Amino acid sequence: MKLEDVKKLADMARIDMSDSEMEGIAKDFDSILAYVGQVQEVSKSEGTQSSALTQEDYFLNNVMRDDVVTNKEGEYTEKILSNAPDTENGFLKVKKIL
């Protein structure tokens, strides 16, 4: 990758870089792009199973559970109210919002 290309990418990403940093990135980019090319070759080579899945392979559904109360009524009321700054008649008291 050319230094000008790295400068353009840095400008587009709004990253301030020195020339020495850009030179190092340019060298790293070449090895990264070479590795990506190798991965693409392997995925296109004959004899390998295609990892491309169709929409039918991704049958998605939500895993749901019954909404069941697991604690006793009022079990945590006192603990909750003790942490509130202001309460009234067993309820949290908040400012009126309108």
Residue 94 belongs to some domain of the structure: no
Phi-psi region of 84 (alpha: psi -120 to 50; beta: other; left: phi over 0): beta
pLDDT tier for residue 14 given thresholds of 50, 70 and 90: very high
DSSP H/E element including 91: strand 91-92
Mean pLDDT score, 50-60 = 63
Mean confidence (pLDDT) of the chain? 83
DSSP state of 69: -
Identity of the amino acid at 61: N
Is the pTM higher than 0.75? The answer reads no
pLDDT > 90: what percent of the chain? Answer: 27
**pLDDT value at residue 58:** 64
Residue 82 belongs to some domain of the structure: no
Mean pLDDT score, 60-81 = 87
Q: Which domain holds residue 24?
A: 1-73
Count of structural domains, the chain: 1
DSSP state of 67: -
